[in-house]
């Protein structure tokens, strides 16, 4: 189970680390610090959707091969959803309360094209922005760290999203495209995501990286299918100018 793998790695990690909060079912959401302790810090998140748990293994690769510049890596934002996907419903995206965490942030909340208030495996916005323990924990941690940029690793499609409501920093998207070979895209009809909130409420660049070919089938089980994303953080932090 990916949750057990992440927690085992956390227990053995010798550098700076912390628990940023807990899931609805009480599972720890853990963060690992990599790189320089000084200067601006980034936050990189993974597996906010249960069925995209393979990105947590990508996160462990990023921790084992750290950037020189400092940042925080959160491998498994949605541990309950990952467990559901791995044990009972492979296509499950939401948390254990049936809320899609990536539409639960305060960024034009509830206005997305596919949004619903009906709980289930995907697209449910929840009762209010940050109604879920997982999204609120990530928001609090982000506000505490004050990152200069955030990354959200998802699957799949080989695309990079950088904009929300006409705002964002396209320069960084092109750096990520150079690192991965992916396409830089604008999307419409989406709201309430972590990237969206970082851009419109915190005023910082934020990027969603959709890892892996669109020909792959959810849930992706082999991290080697995400190989183009392995060097993305290093390349970005080495080349991005604030």
Question: In which domain, by residue range, is 25 found?
Answer: 2-239
Q: Write out pLDDT tens, residues 23-78.
A: 999 999 999 999 999 889 999 999 999 999 999 999 999 999 999 999 999 999 99
The SS3 assignment for 119 reads: coil
Cα-Cα-Cα-Cα dihedral sign, residues 77, 42, 17, 143: negative
pLDDT value, residue 187: 87
Residue 202's pLDDT band, with cuts at 50, 70 and 90, is very high
Q: What is the mean pLDDT of the chain?
A: 97
- Domain count along the chain: 1
Two tokens, residue 48: 């906010």
Spatial contact of 88 and 80, defined as CB atoms under 8 Å apart:
no
Q: Is the pLDDT of residue 234 over 90?
A: yes
CATH of the domain at 168: 3.40.630.10
pLDDT value, residue 46: 98
Q: Is the pLDDT of residue 242 over 90?
A: no
Alpha-carbon gap, residue 175 to 178, rounded angstroms? 5
Q: Write out pLDDT tens, residues 32-41.
A: 999 999 889 9
Spatial contact of 110 and 123, defined as CB atoms under 8 Å apart:
no
Two tokens, residue 230: 């392995």
Establish how many alpha carbons lie within 13 A of residue 83's alpha carbon, considering only the half-sphere containing its beta carbon. 16
What average pLDDT does range 74-95 have in this prediction? 98
What average pLDDT does range 175-191 have in this prediction? 94
Alpha-carbon gap, residue 47 to 53, rounded angstroms? 5
What angle (nearest 5°) sits at the alpha carbon of residue 17, between those of residues 24 and 156? 60
The 10 Å CB-count burial string (b at 16+, else e) for 57-93 is bbbbbbbeebbebbbbbbbbbbbbbbbbbbeeeeebb
pTM (global) more than 0.85: yes
Alpha-carbon gap, residue 13 to 17, rounded angstroms? 8
Q: Is the pLDDT of residue 241 over 90?
A: no
Give the other-Cβ count within 10 Å of 171's Cβ: 12
Contacts of 49 (CB under 8 A, 6+ apart): 78, 81, 93, 94, 100, 101, 102, 122, 154
Percent of the chain exceeding pLDDT 90 equals: 96
pLDDT value, residue 188: 84
């Amino acid at each position: 189970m990916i949750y057990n793998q992440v927690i085992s790695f956390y227990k053995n990690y010798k550098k700076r680390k912390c628990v940023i909060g807990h899931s609805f079912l009480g599972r720890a959401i853990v963060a690992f610090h990599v790189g320089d302790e000084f200067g601006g810090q980034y936050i990189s998140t993974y597996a906010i959707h249960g069925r995209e748990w393979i990105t947590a293994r990508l996160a462990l690769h990023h921790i084992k091969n750290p950037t020189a510049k400092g940042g925080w890596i959160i491998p498994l934002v949605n541990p309950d959803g990952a467990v559901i996907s791995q044990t009972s419903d492979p296509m499950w995206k939401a948390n254990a309360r049936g809320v899609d965490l990536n539409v639960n942030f305060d960024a034009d909340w509830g206005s997305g094209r596919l949004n619903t208030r009906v709980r289930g495996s995907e697209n449910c916005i929840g009762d209010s922005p940050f109604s879920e323990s997982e999204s609120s924990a990530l928001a609090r941690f982000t506000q505490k760290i004050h990152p200069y940029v955030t990354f959200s690793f998802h699957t799949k499609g080989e695309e990079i999203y950088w904009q929300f409501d006409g705002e964002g920093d396209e320069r960084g998207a092109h750096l990520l495209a150079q690192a991965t070979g992916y396409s830089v895209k604008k999307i419409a009809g989406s709201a309430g995501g972590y990237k969206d909130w970082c851009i419109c409420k915190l005023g910082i660049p934020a990027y969603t990286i959709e890892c892996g070919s669109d020909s792959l089938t959810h849930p992706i089980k082999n991290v080697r299918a995400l190989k183009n994303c392995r060097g993305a953080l290093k390349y970005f932090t080495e080349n991005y100018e604030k």
